[in-house]
Amino acid sequence: MARICAITGKRPHQGSRIHRKGQAKRRGGIGMHVTKVVKRTFRPNVQRVRVRLASGQVKRMWVCAKAIKAGKIQKA
C-alpha cells in the first residue's frame, strides 16, 4: 500500500533517529555524545474511508486523519 493521502497528498518522509550515550552535564556528567544516527520514516496516519464525491458517487480512498478532522471530505 502506498501511504499517500488522496486529499492532501501527504506521503512518508525520511528522517533520522539519534542514539546518544553518556550522562547529561546538569546531572554531573561530561555531556551526551552521539554514537549512531539511524534512518527512519515518518508515516502519515492514513485510513481507508468511504467518501461521497461532488458528483454524488461513493468511493473508497486513503485519507489522512488530519483531512478527516478538518472536514475536507464528506463521509458516506
Give the CATH number of the domain where residue 53 resides: 2.30.170
Residue 6 counted as domain residue: no
pLDDT at residue 13 tops 80 = yes
Give domain status of residue 34, yes or no: yes
pLDDT > 80? residue 1: no
User: CA–CA separation, 20 vs 49, rounded Å?
Assistant: 40
pLDDT digits (tens, 9 = 90+) for 49-67: 999 999 999 999 999 999 9
CA distance 17 to 5: 25
Categorize the per-residue pLDDT at 2 as very low, low, confident or very high, splitting at 50, 70 and 90: confident
45 assigned to some structural domain: yes
Domain that holds residue 20: 13-70
* In-domain check, residue 30: yes
- Find the DSSP H helices in 1-76: 65-70
User: What is the amino acid identity at position 36?
Assistant: K
The residue type at 42:
F
Residue 31 lies in a domain: yes
Number of domains in the chain: 1
pLDDT for 32 beyond 80 = yes
